Amino acid sequence: MWMGIFQSVRPTLKNIVINVDIQTGVVVPEESLPSFCQRYLKVGRLTQLTNKQFQSLRMFLHGIKITVRIHGRPERAVRIKDIVRDVGNGEFEKNMPGNEVRTLTVAEHFREMHNIVIIPGSLGVKVGHHELFPVDLCRTVNELYKNKLPGEFTTEVLRFMPNNPERRLQKIERAWKDLEYKNSQFLQGGHIDFAPSSSPMRIMGRLLPSPRIMRSQPEELQESGIWDVRRGPMAKPADRIENWIFMNCTQTTVVQDFIEELCQVFTDRGKISDIPSYFLTLTSLGLGKSNLRQSRPKLIIVLLPDPAPELYVTVKRFGDIENGIATQCIVCLGLHAVLAKVDSNLRNQYMNNLTLKINTRLGGINFVPQSPAMAELRIVPTMILGSFAFHPAAGSTLPSVAALVSSWDPVACQYTASLRVQASRVEIIQDLEAMVITAIKRFVERNGMPPARYVYFRDGVSEGQFATVLEEEQAAFLRALRGSPYYANGPPPFAFIVCAKKHHIRFFPDSRNADQRGNGNFPAGFIGDRDIGHPMYKDFYLQSQKGLQGTSRPCHYTVLANNGTNWSMDMYEDLLVPRSFSLCHCYSRATKSVKIPAPVYYADLVCARAKFHYDRDVDFEDDISLSSDDPNYATKQYAFYQVSG
């Protein structure tokens, strides 16, 4: 791991500021690929990998740059698309003189063409469209690792980084001195002056009051950003679970104790549940599928081995896409770890967290944040929306997907979602108009009236894309409103707010303002909106989550438009900012305030579930990108299915 320096220049209302931060990068060392793989897996041989090891290595190596070294041929730099077991047994057809086609194994090809013997069982890499090479011929290239790190490596990165704001600030101050901006001849030649002090910029901030958390009764938070669901019923338990299935896809035999504990927690949280209607095992899964379709259970809980990515996708596709049945997957390894704990509080916490997910999937509400800004939603019916466009990795033929989630209840705690396929790497949500029309219809079906106000949170937009995204998506949104039969007198007020998570602005509290229970960060609810604001747009930084490790990153909110609403300073202070903070308290899976508003979080999750919507027989491994006029795009759009029911 390497630690580097991030630096950027930002304009503010008063001056130009230099943003300096530290950044950690995981760097791939240059070495033989077999050694690299062995160190990652902590094994001595690569010929007898378990399925778990193979899948882990497959994900870890995807996209890594390597060089292929074959005597007598120039060295090639390529990127890994996939890995294969027993590469020597792979077959391909080779064109021979006289229009003859010969079927060869990879081992035969390398022996005949390069005098290289591939050991049986050797691991291989797939590069390009169809080329296979044994790992023994490959070396890694020194480069920054850009894939998502496995969990254990993420832990190592967190240990490598400063573990509290004070230490991070010390490293940033040392980096600032090393950069020596004041001595730069280039800057001096441009007559650029710096503030006399080399200390970090000091700003005035404020702390928003935490909303109360409403379940069966309102609860004042004893600690900002955290609450406990283990006391009392939920705000709105889902209907009684009369018909549900437990499916055990593992060899474990501890399921009965688990089910009894889970049913007890259901009851404690105000949710009535019968025992499972019947049990299924992996061996009876084929027979069970027809029974599941006939009995139409409300819920299927599935116990999965670890790892089981393909089985997980199969379960979700069966429930969400094909049959419209709620499913909840549990990893066997995690369940065993919980049931082995002597501390009953930890076991109970696990069951309660599981209950939160299940109650939401079945249409219940776990808790409701209460604040003056949220109470105003009952006075002026308001739809809160969140959207996100997710793009595939480089080289994938998967299209981009775009999600829109929208509230349909008076307290903005229940959401409906739309997911669409669009051309690769297009940031504009191309089908936004139709998605908004669908959202309005669902709101009217639920409430008997249309929204009188819209607040649209957009995720994943960089500052360089503000103008384009605003122009395109605002126009689509307004077309949907003007085309609706409910707004004959013109569209209602509409606010367009971008939420940015990936930036390098950090706040470091004085010792008297630090939350000592939050690792020295500010308490949840700190807002910075003065002296660092954007010169063109109204914006603010809100740290809505409690700091637990490292230095908390605030979310950057930028108000791009507020059509039909005159955002006076009072409305900004009393509605927009505190409502954004309150919405960070209604993410149904967590008993902590999260760093972005719940609808934005949900939009991210909906995009992550896109893999469940594709036909299992469609190939996405070709190394091309898709545009909307490409026939491959039409094929993949056709193979994308919406949620059943």
φ, ψ of residue 369 in degrees (nearest 5): -75, 135
225-235 mean pLDDT: 84
| Residue-range definition of the domain harbouring residue 7 | 2-26+153-189
Q: Are both 113 and 183 inside the same structural domain?
A: no
Number of domains in the chain: 4
| Residue of 633 and 312 predicted with greater confidence | 312
Q: Residue 211 falls within a domain, yes or no?
A: no
**What pTM value is reported for the model?**
0.88
Q: Residue 558 falls within a domain, yes or no?
A: yes
pLDDT digits 0-9 by tens, 547-568: 888 899 999 999 998 876 555 5
Q: Are both 96 and 176 inside the same structural domain?
A: no
Residue 53's alpha-carbon distances to 38, 56, 332, 380, in angstroms, are 11, 5, 17, 55
For residue 561 the two structure tokens come to: 């438009």
Percent of the chain with pLDDT over 90: 49
Q: Residue 210 falls within a domain, yes or no?
A: no
Q: Are both 578 and 445 inside the same structural domain?
A: yes
Place of tokens 């190592």: 156
Q: Residue 587 falls within a domain, yes or no?
A: yes
Q: Are both 235 and 279 inside the same structural domain?
A: yes
Handedness of CA 563, 568, 574, 576 (dihedral sign): positive
Q: Are both 462 and 540 inside the same structural domain?
A: yes
**Please, what's the b/e burial string for 208-236 (b: 16 or more CB within 10 A of its CB; e: otherwise)?**
bebbbbbbeeebebeebbbbebeeeebbb
Q: Are both 34 and 13 inside the same structural domain?
A: no
Q: Are both 278 and 421 inside the same structural domain?
A: no
Domain's final residue, options 307, 331, 361:
361
Q: Are both 508 and 629 inside the same structural domain?
A: yes
Residue 462's alpha-carbon distances to 281, 498, 502, 558, 579, in angstroms, are 48, 9, 9, 11, 23
pLDDT of residue 625: 42
pLDDT digits 0-9 by tens, 269-294: 887 677 787 777 765 555 456 666 67
Residues with Cβ within 8 Å of residue 533, at least 6 apart in sequence:
12, 13, 539, 540
pLDDT digits 0-9 by tens, 608-627: 998 888 877 655 444 334 44
What is the Cα–Cα distance from 224 to 540, expressed in whole angstroms? 20
Q: Are both 140 and 171 inside the same structural domain?
A: no
CATH number assigned to the domain comprising residue 476: 3.30.420.10
pLDDT digits 0-9 by tens, 315-358: 999 899 988 999 999 988 777 777 776 667 788 888 899 999 99
User: Contact, 545 vs 598, CB < 8 A?
Assistant: no
Q: Are both 121 and 269 inside the same structural domain?
A: no
Most confident of 237-241, 304-308, 359-363: 359-363
> For residue 299, is pLDDT > 60?
yes
Q: Are both 569 and 593 inside the same structural domain?
A: yes
